[in-house]
Amino acid sequence: MRDITAIFNEIADKHRDYSAAWRLVQQNSRGKIWVVGGFVYRSLAAELYTTPPPRCDFDFLVEEREPVLRLPEGWEERRNSHGNPKLISNEYWIDLIPLPRQWYFVKHGIAPSIEGFLEHTPLTIGSIAYDTVDRRILGEIGPKALYDKTVAVHDVEAAAYVAQLKAKTVEQLVQEKAESLGFRAVL
C-alpha cells in the first residue's frame, strides 16, 4: 500500500493552484489550516487509480478566519451553502471554512476539533484531511475508503443534512459520489 501522505505531499508541492490558494487562505486566517473535501480524496484517487483529477475547487478548514478578508485583484467573495466565504477567481474557487462554524459543532454546542470534524463527515471518503503545517494526512476512515474504493454513509445525521441541502436522497448522494470516483457505493 502506497503512503498517501507522501503522495499528497508530492501533489501539494507541484500543484500551482494549490500553492496559490494555500497562501491566500494563510493570509486570511489564524491558527491551523487543513485541506478537506474533494481536492484531497480526488487528487489521491487520481494518483492511485485512473479517476479524473479534481477541478480547482479547494476546501480549507481554518481554526479562525480574519474578520475582514484581503483578496487580490480579480477575486470576489461570495457565500457557500453553509454561509461561509467562497473566494472566487477566474481560474478556481476556495471555500474558507472556519472550524468553529461547522454546522455540527454549532448545532450540538460542542467544542470544535479536527477529530470532531473527521468524525462527523457525511460520507466515508470525506473523512480525510491534510494538515498543511505538519504536512500529513489525517483520518482513518477516509483513507480506508480510498484504498477499498468504496463510498458509504459515515455520519447519518450529517449525510441527511447534506442530502437535504442538495435536494437529494442520502442514497443518491452516496451513489453519485461513488460513480464520480469509479468506486463502489455501499448502501
At 33 the pLDDT is: 98
At 81 the pLDDT is: 80
At 179 the pLDDT is: 96
In a domain, 52, yes or no: yes
In a domain, 167, yes or no: no
Nearest to 37 by CA among 177, 168, 170, 175: 177
**How many structural domains is the chain composed of?**
1
> For the domain that residue 116 is a member of, what is the CATH number?
3.30.460.10
Boundaries of domain holding 114: 4-148
In a domain, 90, yes or no: yes
At 91 the pLDDT is: 81
At 82 the pLDDT is: 81
**Regions in the chain scoring below 70 on pLDDT:** none
In a domain, 40, yes or no: yes
In a domain, 45, yes or no: yes
Nearest to 127 by CA among 151, 96, 101: 151
Q: What is the DSSP string of 47-78?
A: HHSSPPPPPSEEEEEEEEE-SS----TT-EEE
Nearest to 58 by CA among 45, 75, 72, 40: 40
In a domain, 37, yes or no: yes
At 52 the pLDDT is: 81
Its pTM stands at: 0.94
Measured in residues, the chain has a length of 187
